[in-house]
Amino acid sequence: MALIHDKDCVFANNSQHDIYCSIMGCAIMRPVSSWGETIESDAYNVTKEAEPEPAFPSAARATMDKCSAVFAQREGEYKDTWALENQVTTMLDHVLKVIGMDGICKEEKRLILVAALCDVKDSRMIGDYKEDSHLDAINYRMTLAKWLDDYVNPKDS
């Protein structure tokens, strides 16, 4: 059933709208066919106002826009330092060797590096609020989610 909107009031049908208009003194308008007869239509006088986006998706989209701007800026500044062929893991390789965990592949090292940066970003939350720390944390987590999923569920080439 279509609802009829008149200013701030909503009516279930034309009869309710007509009663309201007769009490409030507003004009009752009905579409008329070319033969002069009233056209009954549930769609008449119905205006569908755009519903506001729910709060959570609205906030999430606004934040994702900011996250996108941050990583676009960083991409320009740092180039593709996360590409496997560009990874420099000298210190990580040294530590892994010292603790007896050497021999892991570049993809696994990259997972460790991005996970560590997620932890670093979380550690920064004990300080004063800085929007950039939150946006970076989201970007690192999104990246970790993708690369970890790719690692756990490799695509067939």
40 and 79 housed in the same domain? no
Q: Tens of pLDDT along 105-125?
A: 999 999 999 999 999 999 999
Greater model confidence, 137 or 48: 137
The answer to whether the beta carbons of residues 1 and 15 sit under 8 Å apart is no
Domain count, the chain: 2
Query: Considering the domain boundaries, does residue 157 fall inside one?
Result: no
Average pLDDT of 39-61?
A: 73
Q: What is the mean pLDDT of the chain?
A: 80
At position 93, the amino acid (one-letter code) is D
Euclidean distance between CA atoms 76 and 74, whole angstroms? 5
Mention every residue, 6+ apart, whose C-beta is less than 8 A from residue 132: 70
Is 142 part of any domain? yes
Hey, is 27 helix, strand or coil? coil
Residues 22 and 71 in one domain: no
pLDDT attached to residue 9: 54
Q: What is the reported pLDDT for 20?
A: 52
Are 39 and 75 part of one and the same domain? Answer: no
Domain holding 125, by residue range, is 55-152
Backbone angles phi, psi at 46, to 5 degrees: -100, 125
